[in-house]
Structure 1
Amino acid sequence: MKYFDYAATTPPHPDVIRTMAEIMETQFGNPSSIHGYGERADQLLRRARSGCAAAIGVKPEEIVFTSGATESNNLAIKGAALRYQSRGRHIITTATEHASVYESFMQLQQWGWEVTLVPVNSDGVVNAQQVVDAIRPDTVLVSLM
């Protein structure tokens, strides 16, 4: 079988697989627990967070680990909308977004946000001017692929 969906996921590097297997076998504690296993897991998690932060030039507390893209998209979209709802309840996306993005917007719409779906052309491309034209004073989020 040939796998060509690297846009969705890629196989981990063998070093990552070995490291993860070792950690899963020996450091399986809950990092929120106060016992020894939990404390060691917490140390590993803090080290991983610091390493990621240093690699992209942010503070460790700005790094949030999730289980994957769907959870990340939900967290980012709903988190931003809820954080800035006092400034407005208008958000913008397209109907051609990944389901995890589109469905987050649709759920926000059910919760009372106004969603503008900017159209795409026959090649799936968004016209930048249409996005600019859709922005209003109460727009708090624009999310486009």
Structure 2
Amino acid sequence: MRMTEVSTKFEISQDTLRYYERIGLIPPVNRNKSGIRDYTEEDLRWVEFIKCMRNAGLPIEVLIEYVGLFQKGDETLEARKELLIEQRTQLLIRMEDMKKVFERLDYKIERYEQTIRKKEKSLTRSEN
């Protein structure tokens, strides 16, 4: 699959794909005879994984470390697992923080709605 198709499929810019490849987040992509990147199914799985992890807020540095460990093979299974467990813990903390913000926003919105209703009621009474 060509870069333009991958970019469209994953809604990632071509510059981002090049950047991910350059810094080692995705393995070097094979090129056809014309030098154009030709993404394999395995490449696409890496792109999907990295996009998913980035969307969850995992830092690029952590993902680079993970990919580096992956490339070293099975002797890094435990280290990869521990890295993912730590990131899951960090994500859970961020989710709890976001839940608090969400609840506070709900509270603030409800207060505004109450104030607006009171004001509308007051205006309706004064017009009568």
Where on the TM-score scale, by shorter chain, does this alignment land: which range?
under 0.3
Q: Normalized per residue, which structure has more helix? A: 2
**Structure with bigger gyration radius:** 2
TM value normalised by structure 2: 0.23
TM value normalised by structure 1: 0.21
